[in-house]
Amino acid sequence: MLSNTNKGLTYADAGVDIDAGNKAVELMKDSVKATYRPEVLGDLGGFGGLFSLMNSDIKKPILVSGTDGVGTKLRLAIMMGKHDTVGQDCVAMSINDVLVQGAEPLFFLDYIAVGKLDPVQVATIVKGVANACQESGCALLGGETAEMAGFYAKDDYDLAGFGVGIVDRDKVITGENIKAGDVLIGLPSTGVHSNGFSLVRKIVLERQNMKLDQYVDELGMTIGECLLTPTRLYPRPCLPIIKNFTVKGMVHITGGGFYENIPRVLPKGVGVDIDVTSWPQLPIFGLLQKWGNVDAKEMYRTFNMGIGMIMIVDEKDADAVLKNLADRDEKAYVIGKVVDSDVPVTLRGGVFHD
């Protein structure tokens, strides 16, 4: 009789379950197919996703790509055993970045790496990805689920994605024509989105020693539910503005907050003057600042502070843009103006003195 040390090994013995992978694919098939646009060729399961541009009416098509992950927000999802929202975070982080160049999202691919493959868990994550793709108007063209036994802990996983959009070369939003007097229109965020969670976890789990199922009166929900609120998708509110107006610049407020992201679209010699009292403040940010004794400037350098997307338009177009958004029940706020300045970002109002 062979000893255990001489037993013939299988991939499953090494911690990789091919059957579980096949089951996960079967469970996610319908969600993925529901995202397909007419340009998608082939079916789920090929070595590569096929997407035709033959029917595009864009004269000088430019593809715009973006890639990102959900980051350490996943730790909270794992701790709570709640995996149905992080898929939207994954899509939003890439698709919102593609959008700011003026591009319509076309397709998205996801990558999930797990320690131990749970087909239902993976299908739940992918369903969230697929739902977000549908809302953004893009196809979930493909993806990869990697079972990496011995690399990730049994219950751990990572989630990242890659999005591609299309825009006419003449309509790429670059920020190069931004000038003093232009208006900043801010679209609200849904919360912390997917940035700053290393600081969030330090404040909530270490400094406050809170449990994620602890109810917080100011939030009207548990702290965990609030923090897992998915990143907002901005294609639906913004694409009609991009198509019908001249948008000079767009800023997705992600890691780096206001101070790091806004300067990325500004030409030399101009800055922005922003009134931080011009939009409603979300309670979660005030709580995080108080609980962590975080300086105001650090808050605006780390978090979106309630504004997830900024559009910069000519002053003469501002009212029409705001009306277009209001007519579609989209909230938006004039949060500041472009000024002649060597200082890229000036915040005033509230804790920032005029």
Pair (131, 253) in one structural domain: no
Same domain as 344, residue 205: yes
Q: Is residue 201 part of a domain?
A: yes
> What is the model's pTM?
0.93
* Res 23 pLDDT > 90: no
Name the domain boundary from 171, 198, 214: 171
Q: Which of 171, 192, 211 is the last residue of a domain?
A: 171
Does one domain contain both 124 and 192?
no
The count of domains in the chain is 2
Strand ranges inside 115-246, DSSP E: 139-147, 157-168, 183-188, 215-216, 221-222
Query: Under 8 Å CB-to-CB from 76, ≥6 apart: which residues?
Result: 197, 201, 212, 224, 227, 228
Tell me if 36 is assigned to some domain: yes
CATH label of the domain that carries residue 109? 3.30.1330.10
For residues 258 and 141, membership in a common domain is answered with no
Would the pLDDT of 291 be above 90?
yes
Q: How confident is the model at residue 48 (pLDDT cuts 50, 70, 90)?
A: confident
Per-residue pLDDT tens over the stretch 64-119: 999 999 999 999 999 999 999 999 999 999 999 999 999 999 999 999 999 999 99
Only one residue has tokens 């959009």, namely: 165
- Same domain, yes or no, for 189 and 321? yes
Hey, which bits of the chain come out as E strands? 40-41, 50-51, 61-69, 104-114, 139-147, 157-168, 183-188, 215-216, 221-222, 247-252, 270-275, 307-313, 333-340, 345-348
pLDDT of residue 25: 73
**Do 129 and 211 fall within a single domain?**
no
CA distance 231 to 89: 5
**pLDDT value of position 42:** 79
Q: Are 136 and 198 in the same domain?
A: no
User: Tell me, what's the pLDDT at 4?
Assistant: 60
63 and 166 co-located in one domain: yes
CATH code, domain carrying 226: 3.90.650.10
176 is a domain residue: no
Domain co-membership, 159 together with 187: no
Residue 320: is its pLDDT beyond 90? yes
177 in any annotated domain = no
Q: Are 220 and 292 in contact (CB under 8 A)?
A: no
Is the domain of 71 the same as that of 161? yes
> What is the model's pLDDT at position 22?
74
Question: Residue 271's CB: how many other CB atoms inside 10 A?
Answer: 20
Closest CA to 28 of 84, 76, 70: 84
Residue ending a domain, among 171, 199, 230, is 171
Confidence of residue 31 (pLDDT cuts 50, 70, 90): confident
CA-nearest of 262, 245, 286, 252 to 165 is 252
pLDDT at 130 over 60: yes
* Cα–Cα nearest to 102, from 2, 237, 238: 238
d(CA 89, CA 163): 13
Of 301, 218, 317, which is closest to residue 256 (Cα–Cα)? 301
**Average pLDDT of span 170-185:** 97
Look up the domain containing 120 and give its range: 9-171
The pLDDT tens digits of the residues spanning 188-203 come to 999 999 999 999 999 9
pLDDT value at position 45? 66
Which pLDDT does position 353 carry in this prediction? 66
188/306 same-domain check: yes
pLDDT tens figures, 243-287: 999 999 999 999 999 999 999 999 999 999 999 999 999 999 999
| 230-243 tens-digit pLDDT | 999 999 999 999 99
Are 266 and 340 members of one domain? yes
